[in-house]
Structure 1
Amino acid sequence: MEWAAEHEITAETAAALVGERFPELRGAPVEPLATGWDNTVFRVGGDWAFRFPRRKIAVPGVEREIATLAALAPGLPLPIPVPRYVGEPGGGFPWPFWGARLVPGREMAEVRPPDGRRAAIGAAVGRFLRVLHDPALVRTAGAGLPVDPLRRGDPAYRATPAAERLDRLAARGLWERDPAVDAFVGAARENAVPPAGEPVIVHGDLHVRHVLLGPGGAASGVIDWGDVCLADPAVDLSLAYAAFAGDDRAAFLDAYGPVPPDRERAARVLALFIAATLAEYAASEARPALLAESLAGIGRALAP
């Protein structure tokens, strides 16, 4: 599978690597915290989250996180992880890894707040992205970042893999075909063009696993910055269309600011792609909450 690990790491191995490189954490308890496509995260000593690549393709993203997050964090209105410990390859582990103060909270995909009760979360994330997408931030924190290396801001390019993933979901009986979705994706594939404007700093992979919610249901942080890059804001605004609809989305966009039609279309195409990708992953990995949230995201993507 495309998300299979090339180098899996256990809690015991993580403890050995952390203890060898950072003596002050030697002997601290280590427990699994989260697993994604590209990284495995362990909680160390209760207060720290250590992030280890699972695939070689993730290493450039890890290096960008190490180089960029400390410069981004101070001005952002929600917490993000800031690397404090940086481990070099060695000890049987081939890639760099890092540890940051734990950003507390649960994935939005796990909590699954009901539609109609997401407005406060939407407003918080909208404010966060308004600050992150400030062009001035490119001058202070954007050095060395690539420009949209995965072409997520190009709706015509993203429409084809979106259609392929939707086809696979339908073939597995996980998603009932929607003519409106098929028509929208087909039109984007034929005639959509990338939004106009200079690139800004974007999270690059902002979805419902990467927004954390605190005990009261408020947004508490944004994690997993391995795809941070320069790109059109549509790359992050896809979350507005996959995770929010109706008044919830209105709260997001009121906090963020105006979104021109070409950017909205690109964001909706990417919302379909990301939601379908997460649904396929969740079905294969037996993650029912993520599957339900991702399928709902496909339904939200074209909703008013």
Structure 2
Amino acid sequence: MTYLGEGWDSTAVLVGGRWVERRPRRPEIEPQLVRESVIMPWLAPRLPLPVPVPVVVSGSPLVVRHELVPGDELTEFNAVQGRQLGEFLRALHAAPTAEAARLGAGGMRLPVERFRAEVLPHVTGGEELLARIDGLPADTLVHGDLGPEHVLDRAGVLTGVIDFGDLHLGDAAIDLAWALHSTSPEFAGALAETYGVTAELRERALTWHQLGPWHEVLYGNDIGDPQLAAVGLDGVRERLNIGVSHR
């Protein structure tokens, strides 16, 4: 058994070199892991890249297990990968929402009041961003936490996408935020062309990109880590300035 690490919500170990076992870090995460075990077997065949398909192997304590998705965290970006991810997101976002909802996919409630209380006092320009997120669409099945640590690569080719804990019915642009605004021009351009990114989608993706570090501030506060919260605040300020330069 090999310890793989822990995310914000769960810990993971590798068993027998093949199986990833995950356990919730907090009781409120248990329904999330159970939901993945229901939705992912339905969703996986619709997607052009391998994804985890967890099954519940223990109910008390809760443990889910899935086959290891091969590859390493994405660190270098090329056009081939951009086209692959564009095709992946087109397929994911085309999944029928009514069926996803029946299987347990719900909406995502942003902690706006906490953003106002814990982030806004420390930054300028944040009020405009919070105003922009009000009324964004929520009509698409989305990964919800797409970043380089969740997109796997081997020898310049994508091999899978992992960590569907934040899968929900939301704005398609949330899955484009990192891919369009934090990758190479070659990667982002190929993805945009393959997916069919419009100017409106790109602008909404920037909004989600700017909002990302706000969650890091809250998480740092939740676990009593002022250094992590400070890093999050630095990210908030940096990305708000990106918004200013684009206007």
Distance 1:166 1:121 in 2: 39
Which among 131, 135, 143 is matched to residue 194 of structure 1? 135
Letter of the structure 2 residue corresponding to residue 202 of structure 1: V
Contact 2:147 2:179 in 1 (8 A): no
Match of 1:126 in 2: 86
**Normalised TM-score (structure 2):** 0.78
Match of 2:143 in 1: 203
Contact 2:3 2:13 in 1 (8 A): yes
Which among 163, 170, 177 is matched to residue 224 of structure 1? 163
Change (3 A) 1:204 1:120: same
Contact 2:92 2:142 in 1 (8 A): yes
- Give 1:286 deviation, angstroms: 9.6
Contact 2:133 2:207 in 1 (8 A): no
Match of 1:239 in 2: 178
Match of 2:38 in 1: 67
- Give 1:265 deviation, angstroms: 3.4
Distance 2:179 2:193 in 1: 11
1:80 counterpart SS class: coil
Q: Which structure has more strand as a fraction of its residues?
A: 2
Contact 1:64 1:228 in 2 (8 A): no
Distance 2:33 2:25 in 1: 11
Cα deviations by residue, 1:60-90 (Å, 9 ceiling, x for unpaired): 210110110000001201110012453211x
Which consecutive unaligned segments of at least 5 residues does structure 1 have? 1-29, 169-181
Distance 1:199 1:80 in 2: 22
1:138 aligns with 2:138: no
Identity level (%): 29
1:209 counterpart SS class: helix
Contact 2:132 2:207 in 1 (8 A): no
1:81 aligns with 2:52: yes
Which consecutive unaligned segments of at least 5 residues does structure 2 have? none
Change (3 A) 1:60 1:165: farther
Letter of the structure 1 residue corresponding to residue 149 of structure 2: R
Letter of the structure 2 residue corresponding to residue 256 of structure 1: Y
Contact 2:22 2:65 in 1 (8 A): yes
Match of 2:72 in 1: 106
2:104 counterpart SS class: coil
Query: Aligned-pair RMSD on alpha carbons?
Result: 3.6
Which among 14, 23, 29 is matched to residue 43 of structure 1? 14
Distance 2:18 2:242 in 1: 36
1:264 aligns with 2:202: yes
- Give 1:301 deviation, angstroms: 6.2
Match of 1:164 in 2: 119
- Give 1:195 deviation, angstroms: 3.2
**Normalised TM-score (structure 1):** 0.65
Contact 1:73 1:79 in 2 (8 A): yes
Contact 2:82 2:186 in 1 (8 A): no
Distance 1:230 1:252 in 2: 22
1:41 counterpart SS class: strand
Cα deviations by residue, 1:198-235 (Å, 9 ceiling, x for unpaired): 61211122222211222x13221111111111112122
Letter of the structure 2 residue corresponding to residue 120 of structure 1: V
- Give 1:33 deviation, angstroms: 1.1
Match of 1:34 in 2: 5
Match of 1:249 in 2: 188
Aligned length: 235
1:244 counterpart SS class: coil
Choose 1 or 2 for highest CA Rg: 1
Contact 1:243 1:300 in 2 (8 A): no
